[in-house]
């Protein structure tokens, strides 16, 4: 199969095991490494030869699992230091193109950034993001952040205090470097045209350069307190 | 010099006492409050009265590192019982806080060698033990051993 990848998954916990199942279903070649003997014996009954027993922090364990030919390494153990270093070694020593690291404690995110281990996934952050999306009192939601590419997508609630409520899109004086991409209204979402009139209660999606976020939110009349930023990676 | 030691086990605590006796300023960080007791073994005064500093916290907690004085540290020693923790916090000390001298204790010889190549100063007790054992065994087997074999 042309687009079948060789993927190394470190950690056969709930995340690693289910991930392996999904990847195998999609015809990828997968090897999972688990350091806990008991867990290994449980998961081995299903994954069989696809599961290796060992501490993936040790280089020979990674080499035995074929890291040199891996297209992707996913480190999802319950230990942030392990995930961090396994990905660092995969990238820097073995030249693996794609890595994904799991962050257990969101406070450790800064260390992943520092050591340039990206992308990383934090369940806490994802849930926080959903909460922000669900709780209407937050006027601003980050839907996507790609700081390296200087792109983000935000969702902004237009309330009665917003100076742009009732304005036509064509008349907006948005800062340079941003674009309204959708409007979510009670009866569904749509892509706005020049004639679209923004209404109170609209949720507006914009793609923009993160540097002009403050400028844009000020223009749209959103109170962008610091709290909305917390928990976003 | 101001020396910050993270991980106050047998190695860290002994090193801390020696360095304090040598006249250096020593700050210790460990997540286990009980590890403080190790610092006072053989001391008549308390660790603090002797001039030492002790902070409870994990090496990965930036706040704990700052409380322990990492921003003015001349030397940073990562001596916890976890290789991975030592490698991560040593890199934090190096890259984020730009401490001049950073040394990490790494038990796994292969990784110690690789991180050494990456510019991290490492001490590998396992490597040292292997070398000592090798030379001990060689000393036993030769030259006296060779003579016995010929006889």
Model confidence pLDDT, tens digit, residues B72-131:
999 999 999 999 999 999 999 999 999 999 999 999 999 999 999 999 999 999 999 999
Residue of B nearest to A83 (CA): B84
How is chain B split into domains, by residue range? 2-105
Phi, psi of A83 (to 5 degrees): -60, -40
The answer to whether residues A25 and A108 belong to one domain is: yes
Looking up residue A72, the CATH number of its domain turns out to be 3.40.50.720
Which residues lie closer than 8 Å to B74 by C-beta, 6 or more apart?
Answer: B1, B2, B3, B99, B100, B101
CB pairs under 8 A between A and B: 43
Cross-chain CB nearest to B62 (options A79, A85, A110): A110
- pLDDT band, very low/low/confident/very high, at A227 (cuts 50, 70, 90): very low
Q: Does B114 touch chain A (CB under 8 A)?
A: yes
- pLDDT band, very low/low/confident/very high, at B47 (cuts 50, 70, 90): very high
The answer to whether residues A60 and A116 belong to one domain is: yes
Output the CA–CA distances (angstroms, integers) from residue A126 to A10, A82, A121, B67, in the order listed. Answer: 21, 21, 8, 30
Query: Percentage of chain B with pLDDT > 90?
Result: 89
Q: Does A46 touch chain B (CB under 8 A)?
A: no
The answer to whether residues A89 and A149 belong to one domain is: no
Q: Does B116 touch chain A (CB under 8 A)?
A: no
Q: Does B108 touch chain A (CB under 8 A)?
A: yes
Q: Which of residues 56-95 of B touch A (CB under 8 A)?
A: 60-62, 82-85, 87-88, 91-92, 95
In a domain, A128, yes or no: no
Q: What is the pLDDT averaged over residues A31-44?
A: 97
Residue of B nearest to A88 (CA): B88
Looking up residue A150, the CATH number of its domain turns out to be 3.30.70.1450
Contact between B83 and B72 (Cβ < 8 Å): no
What pLDDT is recorded for position A126?
86
Q: Which of residues 33-62 of B touch A (CB under 8 A)?
A: 60-62
Contact A57 B88 (CB under 8 A): no
The answer to whether residues A162 and A196 belong to one domain is: yes
Contact A85 B84 (CB under 8 A): yes
Residue B84 C-alpha, separation from nearest chain A C-alpha, in angstroms = 6
Chain B CB contacts of A11 under 8 Å are none
The ipTM (two decimal places) reads: 0.84
**Architecture of the B2-105 domain:** 3-Layer(aba) Sandwich (3.40)
Total domains present in chain A: 2
Residue B90 C-alpha, separation from nearest chain A C-alpha, in angstroms = 11
Say which residue, B76 or A231, is predicted with more confidence. Answer: B76
Q: Does A93 touch chain B (CB under 8 A)?
A: yes
**Residue A196 is part of which domain span?**
136-223
Contact B88 A84 (CB under 8 A): yes
Angle between helices B109-117 and B83-91 (to 10 degrees): 10
What pLDDT is recorded for position B144?
62
Cross-chain CB nearest to A81 (options B88, B96, B118): B88
Angle between helices B125-141 and B109-117 (to 10 degrees): 120
């Amino acid at each position: 199969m042309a687009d079948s990848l060789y993927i190394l998954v470190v950690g056969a916990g709930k995340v690693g095991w289910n991930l392996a199942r999904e990847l195998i279903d999609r015809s990828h070649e997968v090897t999972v490494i688990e350091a806990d003997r008991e867990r290994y014996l449980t998961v081995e009954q299903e994954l069989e030869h696809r599961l290796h027993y060992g501490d993936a922090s040790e280089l020979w364990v990674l080499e035995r699992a074929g890291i040199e030919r891996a297209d992707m390494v996913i480190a999802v153990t319950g230990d942030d230091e392990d995930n961090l270093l396994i990905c660092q070694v995969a990238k820097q020593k073995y030249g693996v193109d794609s890595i994904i690291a799991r962050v257990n404690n969101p406070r450790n995110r800064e260390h992943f950034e520092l050591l340039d281990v990206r992308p990383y996934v934090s369940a806490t952050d994802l849930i926080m993001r959903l909460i922000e999306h669900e709780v209407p009192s937050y006027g601003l939601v980050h839907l996507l952040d790609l700081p390296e590419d200087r792109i983000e997508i935000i969702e902004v609630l237009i309330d009665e205090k917003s100076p742009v409520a009732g304005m036509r899109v064509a008349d907006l004086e948005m800062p340079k470097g941003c674009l309204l991409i959708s409007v979510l209204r009670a009866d569904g979402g749509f892509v706005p045209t020049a004639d679209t009139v923004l209404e109170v209660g609209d949720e507006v999606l914009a793609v923009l350069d993160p540097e002009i976020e403050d400028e844009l939110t000020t223009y749209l009349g959103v109170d962008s307190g610091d709290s909305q930023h917390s928990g976003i990676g | 010099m101001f020396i910050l030691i993270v991980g106050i086990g047998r190695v860290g605590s002994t090193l801390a006492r020696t360095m304090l006796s040598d006249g250096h300023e020593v700050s210790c960080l460990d997540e286990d409050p009980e590890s403080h007791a190790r610092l006072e073994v053989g001391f008549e005064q308390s660790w603090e009265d002797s001039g030492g500093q002790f902070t409870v916290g994990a090496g990965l907690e930036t706040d704990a590192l700052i409380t322990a004085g990492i921003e003015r540290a001349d030397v940073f020693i990562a001596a916890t019982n976890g290789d991975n923790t030592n490698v991560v916090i040593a890199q934090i000390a190096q890259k984020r806080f730009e401490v001049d001298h950073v040394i990490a204790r790494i038990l796994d010889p292969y990784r110690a060698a690789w991180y050494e190549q990456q510019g991290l100063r490492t001490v590998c007790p396992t490597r040292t033990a292997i070398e000592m054992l090798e030379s001990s065994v060689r000393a036993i087997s030769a030259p006296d051993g060779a003579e016995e074999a010929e006889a």
